[in-house]
Structure 1
Amino acid sequence: MTRLVLWDIDHTLIDTRGVGRQLSAAAFEQATGVPLREQATIDGITEQVIFRETARLHGITTGRADFERFASALAEQHVKQAAELGERGQALEGAAAVLHALAEVPGVRQTVVTGNVRAVARTKLAVFGLDGPIDWAIGAYGEDGEARADLVRLALSRASADPSEAVLIGDTPADVEGALSADVKVIAVATGRSTATDLHAAGADHVLPDLSATESLVSLITG
């Protein structure tokens, strides 16, 4: 058996409990020189889109160089404030158990498909001890594209995996739709702002309340 597991991060594996927004605000001001007044809606979209649309809300037109400056500042802020992130945020129930259980299954590879930029993704998971089972080289990140579906396809390409070998686990309709558009099975968890009803309506193959049922979740992923 071979299986490629594509994990979303925020509200699927971890919850920053507001620290993420705080660090984004600091990075936005560092990159643009303008204090953050409001932020574009963030559920299920990538940092490229969040930054561009947030800048637009402040009357700023941005390009790739501006985004790269923001991404660098955001990574720096996460490293500087890692202790606060660890104190205020949390790994979600069952996340560590299922990541480590899957790491023991022959033929399973785990990575992330996330709107976070790679450096931030690594810091977030490292803070909560969830980074070990992740193959970072085959993941897809916020600097790689704007559409979730494109990130899913990029991860498949980097892993040299067929869609039939993959399963994506996320918490938003955007995660579900991105996976389905790439013909990838999707398991949704109602641990974020989207309800189970929302996730069923988006077309998720399975919807779970959380990641706590380790054995049954591993069976669902590998079956």
Structure 2
Amino acid sequence: MLELVLWDIDHTLMATGGLGRELWAEAFEQVTGLELREQALVTGSTERVILRETARLHGVPFSEDLFVRFADALGAVHVRRAAELRERGHALAGAAAVLAALAERGVRQSVVTGNVRLAAEVKLATFGLDSYLHLGNGAYGEDGEGRPELLREALARADVAAPAAVFLGDTPADVAGGRDAGVRVVAVATGKTPAAELKDAGADVVLSSLTDTEQALAAITK
């Protein structure tokens, strides 16, 4: 029986219209004093990993203190520029309807994301998606380095066994993380990865989008 639905955020529920990188660059400069020249690969990664690799590209030693200060700065810049996020970004088509339909069925929902928690909360609130989610049961960039670790943390917080959970994401890393953690994976081809590649990565189901609410519900609650 389905007890928990876990959602990735970026390119699964929403898009930031390119603002995300600007906010990241602002926080990076704030904590390192260096202008961002190059950012490490972000797709399917977590903020801790992205910061560590980006710091290396800039010759900056990585430490837990650096990450904590960066996480605080990144959350604060999201709060400060939330209005701009609302103007430039958007919830993906169908996302709110699927979240609402699951909530109406009494299904508990949360997020598993590489975003730091405050940034995730701002994004979800900005596009009106937070009311459907039990964010205390989620897992965030502060909680680990990879999707499997984050998924296991979310399952533990929700006190739900892996077979009773479903994870939705848009990258091969999401699919691999879900399989590693033992949860069923519904991939959504709304990011940069084609549907065929998500299927090859091992997703149980691949949706082209969330626009067909009934189709999405059938895939999630199967």
Q: TM-score range by the shorter chain?
A: over 0.9
**SS of corresponding position for 1:169:** strand
CA displacement, residues 66-100 of structure 1 (integer Å, 9 cap, x when unaligned)? 00101101011101110110000111010010011
Does 1:169 pair with 2:168?
A: yes
After TM superposition, the structure 1 stretch with the greater mean CA deviation from structure 2, 211-220 or 166-175, is 211-220
Corresponding residue for residue 93 of structure 1: 93
Alignment match, 1:105: 105
The letter for the 2-side match of 1:199 is L
Q: Which amino acid aligns with 1:38?
A: E
TM-score by length of 1: 0.98
SS at match of 1:143: helix
Identity over aligned pairs, percent? 59
The aligned residue for residue 183 of structure 2 is 184
- The alpha carbon displacement at 1:17 in A equals 1.2
Superposed displacement of residue 2, structure 1: 4.0
The 2-side partners of 1:214 and 1:33 are apart by: 46
Letter in 2 for 1:97: A
Shift of 1:218: 1.3
Counterparts of 2:42 and 2:21, CA distance in 1: 10
For 1:47-86, what aligned pairs fall within 5 Å after superposition? 47-86=47-86
Cα distance in structure 2, aligned partners of 1:93 and 1:163: 28
Tell me, which stretches of 5 or more residues in structure 2 are unaligned? none
- Residue aligning to 1:11: 11
Superposed CA offset, 1:136-155 (max 9, x none): 11101001000110101111
> What amino acid maps onto 1:73 in structure 2?
A
Contact 1:3 1:222 in 2 (8 A): no
RMSD over equivalenced CA pairs, Å:
0.8
2:132 maps to which residue?
Answer: 133
Structure 1 residues 2 and 205, CA, compared in 2 at 3 Å: closer, same or farther? closer
- CA distance in 2 between partners of 1:7 and 1:208 (Å): 14
Partner of 1:214: 213
Q: Secondary structure at the match of 1:168?
A: strand
Matched, 1:116 2:119: no
Confirm whether residue 22 of structure 1 aligns to residue 22 of structure 2.
yes
Q: Partner amino acid for 2:202?
A: G
Q: Residue 92 of structure 1 aligns to which amino acid in structure 2?
A: L
CA contact (8 A) 2:186 2:204 kept: yes
What TM-score does the superposition give when structure 2 sets the normalisation length? 0.98
Aligned partner of residue 193 in structure 2, secondary structure: coil
The answer to whether the 8 A contact 1:7-1:170 is kept is yes
For the 8 Å contact 2:16–2:90, the answer to whether it is kept is yes
